[in-house]
């Protein structure tokens, strides 16, 4: 019964001829290369001229982008409402602290196994994925806003746990988190690799960029595979997906576990970059910021996750960098965080009303328009790629 | 025993506030199948306006409450008219998220306007008034909360049972198309639902602020505890919201009162999550709640 989706997914040879005339394919491939070269160039220029402040801003944005991607897998691609991403990030952060943290020197210190970076980063993801696998069967029995409220409850249960499981979280005082290190080179100091001296910010930048790139490629390709199509089928119509032979439970669990894994990695990177996080950081506001990020950037889109994270998490840092706004709101002033909250609150409403695909939806709409224009000019050709447009929902 | 009764009394009063907020959720959900995540911030805005009317404009307390109710009802009506009506037929995800957008806007607006300092809570009498019977303190706040909740419940019961518009709302909740056929104006029903929800939320907010002696930005967070209440009672049952609210209030205050006895085992702050634990239990065993209809979103 899965013959038809398989056929369309596993016959790349048959595709180009039905998709588009070769000229347009070349043009789009060329523009893709140009885009890739531009991105690499921007990254390189930034890498060589950026100062420490800008590396801080970009690093936090990259980490937020990984977490946005994680939420997009669950909410954007699979349509499962979640307000619990902050909880899963926290699990990742504390798992990293447990595996990578220094061994306790006194009985009151939180536990740490002092394992190397190569182990604690994946371990953070795996532990969070396991947590997701444990919670999933309970949460995913529910649909719609029930799922939203259960994941909301996770946030509060998390707050309680993070304050009380002192052996791992350090309680309300918090604890320090391990710094990534390769061999003897720890990322919070300047190190030279192959004769190239890199600042702390540059090392974290490379690390975060590599992790984000890997996660993005994985999600991007996954969503074009059989499993990914099943995710999106479940989002668009559960009954329809079941009839096509999609196992709802498997798909939802898969999305939940993958999303948890990525959230755990993002949480570990965040905690390790900021070195210290108090338990109340992992609150509802953080989750809502990620929801805002994917709605504004683009639901069910890899680039959308990155753009949304840049807007929601990068913008207030940029504003603070230039001291454009007062530190705290009140007396007629507005702080960068509050201005940003006001903006993303408004943009959630505006985008959901007028362009549910977010910024990426706008871009795709523009592309579809130009393509339509070109198609008329080239007299023909079915615009097959338009089916990749997100449905009017997520 | 006196300690137990004391805590239980406070728990019922707290539960009445959850009941007020929960009724707002249920009324909107019944009318339009929308869960209004912004209920908490509507409550915050209401309490904030009442406080500034009393302390900055030196208005009489009752007039201030009326003023607060008018403003929040307007916010509710405008949001329903300008935003939600365009979202009819859209997926649950979008509708839930758009109310979260409103939630963020309202909370930030209050932060910007009021700064981070808490405001004092307005009250029609000295806020710590009350009397003692057999060693149990009955605070005027708590008594008034219970009394007003009872009156509002009675009024709403009368409204839904006997008045033209109340019946129209129930008919719409039962079957929207049939209601349209018999000439009920669905738009009026939606508007009424949002208006009533905003009004009861504001009243709940004023009591919540009195109980805490102050209004700060976290006040709206208390409304999140009305979620366990409505799920326990059954999302589409207004009576369920009241019963669920009172049970959740009791559960929370009783665990708060006794958690220090088991602090070695459970640590601090378990009362902040017991309502959610009850909720998860209910969702696992009886997802339609105590009084809800069995049609519930499950696979």
Give the whole-number percent of chain A exceeding pLDDT 90. 45
Confidence of residue A18 (pLDDT cuts 50, 70, 90): very low
Predicted confidence (pLDDT) per residue in A58-77, tens digit: 999 999 999 999 999 999 99
Q: Do B297 and A146 touch (CB under 8 A)?
A: yes
Count CB atoms within 10 A of the CB of residue A38: 10
pLDDT (mean) for A29-50: 81
Predicted confidence (pLDDT) per residue in B139-159, tens digit: 888 888 899 999 999 999 999
A328: pLDDT strictly greater than 80: no
**pLDDT for res A4:** 42
Enclosing H/E stretch for A34: helix A22-49
- When scoring B93, B256, B262, B298 by the number of chain A Cβ atoms within 10 A, the one with the most, hence best to mutate, is B93
Among chain B residues, CA nearest to A393: B91
Q: Mean pLDDT of all residues in chain A?
A: 83
CA B134 to centroid of chain Cα atoms: 32
**Residue of higher predicted confidence among A105 and A55:** A55
A23: pLDDT strictly greater than 60: no
B285 interface with A at CB cutoff 8 Å? no
Cα angle A341, A346, A350; round to 5? 150
Q: Do B297 and A352 touch (CB under 8 A)?
A: no
Q: Do A138 and B98 touch (CB under 8 A)?
A: no
A122 CA to chain B: closest CA distance, Å?
A: 30
**pLDDT for res B203:** 92
**pLDDT for res B212:** 78
Q: Say what the ipTM of the complex is.
A: 0.90
**pLDDT for res A157:** 93
B294 CA to chain A: closest CA distance, Å?
A: 14
Tokens 């309490």 identify what position? B47
DSSP string, A312-333: IIIHHHHHHHTT-S-SS-BTTB
- When scoring A138, A148, A350 by the number of chain B Cβ atoms within 10 A, the one with the most, hence best to mutate, is A148
- The tokens for A347 are 């943009």
Confidence of residue A332 (pLDDT cuts 50, 70, 90): low
Give chain B positions within 8 Å (CB) of A142: 283, 287, 297-298
A326: pLDDT strictly greater than 60: yes
Between the alpha carbon of residue B65 and those of residues A77, B49, B111, the distances in Å are: 45, 8, 21
**pLDDT for res A349:** 93
Predicted confidence (pLDDT) per residue in B238-292, tens digit: 889 999 999 999 999 999 888 887 777 777 788 889 999 999 999 888 878 888 7
Predicted confidence (pLDDT) per residue in A283-300, tens digit: 999 999 999 999 999 998
**pLDDT for res A6:** 40
CB within 8 A of B20, min separation 6: which ones?
A: B149, B152, B200, B201, B203, B204, B207, B245
Confidence of residue B128 (pLDDT cuts 50, 70, 90): low
A319: pLDDT strictly greater than 60: yes
SS3 category, B246: helix
pTM: 0.88
B187 interface with A at CB cutoff 8 Å? no
| Cβ within 8 Å of A, B 227-246 | 227-228, 231
A24: pLDDT strictly greater than 70: no
Q: Mean pLDDT of all residues in chain B?
A: 87
B299: pLDDT strictly greater than 80: no
């Amino acid at each position: 019964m899965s013959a038809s989706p398989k056929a369309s997914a596993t016959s790349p040879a048959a595709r180009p001829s039905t998709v588009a005339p070769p000229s347009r394919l070349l043009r789009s491939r060329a523009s893709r290369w140009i885009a890739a070269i531009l991105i690499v160039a921007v990254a390189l220029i930034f890498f060589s001229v950026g100062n420490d402040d800008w590396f801080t801003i970009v690093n936090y944005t990259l980490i937020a982008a990984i977490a946005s991607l994680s939420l997009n897998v669950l909410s954007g691609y699979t349509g499962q409402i979640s307000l619990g991403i902050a909880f899963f990030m926290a699990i990742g952060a504390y798992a990293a602290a447990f595996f990578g943290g220094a061994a306790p020197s006194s009985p009151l210190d939180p536990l740490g196994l002092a394992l190397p970076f190569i182990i604690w980063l994946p371990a953070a993801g795996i532990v969070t994925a396991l947590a997701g696998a444990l919670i999933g069967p309970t949460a995913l029995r529910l649909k719609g806003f029930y799922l939203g409220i259960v994941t909301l409850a996770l946030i509060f249960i998390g707050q309680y746990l993070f304050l009380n499981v002192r052996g791992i979280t350090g309680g309300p005082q918090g604890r320090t988190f391990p710094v990534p290190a390769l061999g003897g080179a720890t990322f919070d100091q300047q190190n030279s690799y192959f004769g190239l001296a890199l600042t702390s910010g540059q090392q974290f930048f490379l690390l975060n960029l590599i992790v984000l790139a890997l996660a993005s490629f994985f999600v991007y390709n996954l969503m074009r595979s059989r499993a990914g199509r099943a995710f999106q089928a479940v989002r668009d119509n559960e009954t329809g997906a079941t009839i096509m032979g999609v196992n709802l439970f498997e798909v939802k669990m898969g999305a939940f576990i993958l999303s948890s894994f990525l959230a755990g990695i993002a949480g570990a990177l965040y905690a390790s970059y900021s070195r210290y996080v108090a338990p109340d950081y992992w609150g509802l506001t953080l989750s809502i910021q990620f929801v805002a990020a994917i709605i504004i950037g683009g639901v069910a889109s890899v680039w959308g996750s990155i753009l949304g994270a840049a807007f929601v998490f990068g913008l207030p840092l940029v504003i603070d960098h230039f001291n454009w706004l007062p530190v705290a709101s009140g007396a007629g002033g507005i702080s960068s965080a509050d201005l940003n909250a006001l903006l993303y609150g408004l943009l959630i409403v505006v985008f959901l009303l007028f362009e549910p695909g977010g910024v990426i939806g706008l871009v795709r709409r523009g592309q579809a328009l130009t393509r339509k224009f070109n198609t008329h000019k080239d007299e023909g050709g079915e615009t097959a790629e338009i089916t990749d447009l997100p449905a009017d929902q997520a | 025993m006196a300690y137990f009764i004391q805590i239980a009394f406070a728990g019922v009063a707290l539960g009445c506030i959850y009941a007020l907020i929960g009724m707002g959720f249920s009324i909107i959900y019944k009318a339009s199948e929308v869960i209004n995540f912004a209920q908490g911030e509507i409550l915050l805005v209401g309490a904030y306006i009442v406080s500034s009317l009393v302390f900055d404009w030196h208005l009489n307390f009752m007039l201030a409450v009326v003023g607060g109710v008018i403003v929040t009802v307007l916010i509710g009506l405008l949001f329903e008219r300008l935003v939600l009506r365009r979202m009819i037929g859209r997926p649950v995800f979008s509708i839930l998220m758009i109310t979260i957008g409103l939630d963020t806007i309202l909370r930030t607006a209050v932060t910007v306007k009021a700064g981070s300092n808490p405001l004092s809570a307005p009250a029609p009498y000295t806020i710590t008034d009350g009397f003692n019977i057999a060693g149990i303190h009955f605070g005027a706040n708590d008594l008034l909360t219970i009394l007003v909740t009872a009156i509002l419940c009675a009024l709403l019961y009368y409204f839904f049972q006997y008045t033209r518009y109340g019946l129209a709302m129930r008919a719409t909740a039962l079957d929207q198309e049939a209601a349209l056929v018999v000439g009920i104006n669905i738009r009026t029903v939606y508007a009424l639902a949002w208006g009533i929800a905003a009004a009861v939320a504001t009243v709940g907010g004023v009591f919540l602020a009195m109980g805490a002696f102050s209004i700060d930005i976290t006040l709206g967070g208390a409304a999140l505890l009305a979620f366990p209440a409505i799920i326990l009672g059954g999302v589409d049952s207004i009576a369920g919201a009241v019963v669920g609210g009172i049970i959740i209030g009791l559960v929370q205050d009783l665990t708060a009162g006794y958690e220090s006895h088991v602090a070695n085992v459970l640590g601090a702050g378990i009362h902040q999550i017991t309502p959610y634990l009850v909720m998860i239990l209910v969702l696992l065993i009886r997802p339609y709640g105590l009084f809800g209809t069995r049609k519930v979103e499950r696979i």
